[in-house]
A and B are shown apart, each in its own frame.
Chain A
Amino acid sequence: MGDAAHAELLDHEVYQKPFKVQPDFEFWDTPANYRDRHLGDDKLPDKMKVWRVQNTGKTSGSVVARSYGFTDSPDAEVLALGFNHGKEYGAVGVGRHGNFLQWGYSAPPSKMTDAGKKFFVNCICYIQRFDGKGPLVRSNSSHRLNALRLAALINRIKDKEFFSGSFSSDLMGKYEGDPNGLVQYYKSDFELIYRDKVYCIDSELKALGINSNRTVDALQRLIGLLQDQTHADTARGLLARYTNESFASAEQWQQWLTANRDRIFFSDVGGYKFFVAPKGYLLPDGR
């Protein structure tokens, strides 16, 4: 990452107080790596609106975090998208995870722009409100979007061992020389992707007619199926796959869900599990 941030997100309160951040905007050419890594079907614009956080004159030296799964838990949020020449559009230049705020820019204040200085001061004030609020999840898996990103690369990276932690040998054989086919395989059942050594599609959920593994409705359906002798064992196995709980009875599962429904979230990055935010952890707006 270089000196700039994208102009998105300026409505966030971290740009409003204590100081109002009012950057000067510029339009810069869209980096080639953005197109290369773009997972959507839409076309990226030729130029993008950015603002300078600092003035080092360099196009590298600062750092962004990957965007994939960054916000799949309520303890993390993106505060600035970093204009970068290495990762995807949307990569995180300034972000928060729990009580940590990572400022990806490299320069000291004397080389920050006026807007950058105000943003930095605001970040110090903003993170203070998360004092004592450690992360709810840790990064111990990779988000399902990575399955798409890596599938698109199977022709470009010749070392097949590179993909051994991503795709089964069966899939690699089936889609050899056909990255688009492999991408489509995962896109078709995107909501059912999980990881078990490699990226998998949850055929058991699919067979039950449940079309996502990351909604609270899916959790409710599985708990309901515990009462159905035909599907109870499968449902129990799936609840073990997607939660860290191990209740003995359907009633206990239901009690847990009812008590925590408003605070349950699913995180790919946290391990493809449902988690419960502790009472009082989240701010009224869900942060």
Chain B
Amino acid sequence: MTFWLAFVPAVFVGCKKKEQPQGSGQKAPPETTRPVPAADRVYQADTAEKINLRVLYAGVPNSERAKDFVDFLAKHFEQVETAGYNAFKQEQSSGFDVVILDYDGVDFNAPRPNISREYSRATITMGVPGAFICSSLSLKTGYL
């Protein structure tokens, strides 16, 4: 409930900015309709308006890199939380819109979180370790 109270005004703003089809002549949908996905909304660059997505960043705790990412993500997204990359369990993705799996970007021998083929949360894998995660799941985005 608390989430929706915060969410509806943001969606309403987003709807106002969404491009409307020309000549549709249709009334604007009521606010109670399904929220417009963030990917369909157009934000103005360099404004303080945050994107209404819940992002889970799973990185290396207490690392400079993790701080770098989280600081950046927090500037752009309404909700950003963190988890440990090594200990990441796919169940932790529950309640988030997007998960980012990030180790260090470059390590060919980075550990790989245990992710099943049934896992379907929208997820970004980062750099070389990300490519190896993709390989282990037989994805086209994998290394080689």
- Chain A residues packing against B (C-beta within 8 Å): 13, 17-20, 61-63, 65-66, 69-70, 73, 76, 92, 95-110, 117-118, 121, 123-135, 138-140, 269
Q: Answer whether A97 and B140 are a contact pair too, CB < 8 Å, given A18-B38, A128-B37, A131-B120.
A: yes
Residues from chain B with a CB closer than 8 A to the CB of A106 are: 105-106, 126-128
At the interface with chain A, which of B3-11, B23-31, B129-137?
Answer: B129-137
Residues from chain B with a CB closer than 8 A to the CB of A135 are: 137, 139
Q: How many residues of B contact A (CB 8 A)?
A: 48
Expressed in whole angstroms, the Cα–Cα distance for A3 and B22 within the complex equals 40
The number of residue pairs between A and B whose CB atoms lie closer than 8 Å in the complex comes to 162
Most chain B beta carbons < 10 A, residue from A18, A62, A106: A18
Judge whether A118 and B45 touch: CB under 8 Å.
yes
Which chain B residues numbered 72 to 96 have a C-beta less than 8 Å away from chain A?
72-73, 76-77
Q: Mark B106-142, 1 if CB is under 8 A from A, else 0.
A: 1000000000011111111111101100100111111
Contact of B39 among A20, A62, A105, A129 (CB under 8 A): A129
Residues from chain B with a CB closer than 8 A to the CB of A117 are: 72
- Chain B residues packing against A (C-beta within 8 Å): 37-43, 45, 51, 53, 55, 64-65, 68-69, 71-73, 76-77, 97-98, 100, 105-106, 117-128, 130-131, 134, 137-144
Q: Whole-angstrom distance from the CB of B75 to the nearest CB of chain A?
A: 9
Expressed in whole angstroms, the Cα–Cα distance for A269 and B69 within the complex equals 34
5 interchain residue pairs of minimum CB distance: A106-B105, A102-B141, A109-B72, A138-B138, A108-B68
Contact of A108 among B51, B55, B105 (CB under 8 A): B105
Report 16 cross-chain contacts, Cβ distance below 8 Å, ordered by A residue.
Answer: A61-B105, A62-B127, A63-B127, A66-B144, A97-B141, A100-B137, A100-B141, A102-B141, A108-B65, A124-B55, A125-B37, A126-B39, A128-B122, A131-B122, A133-B120, A138-B138
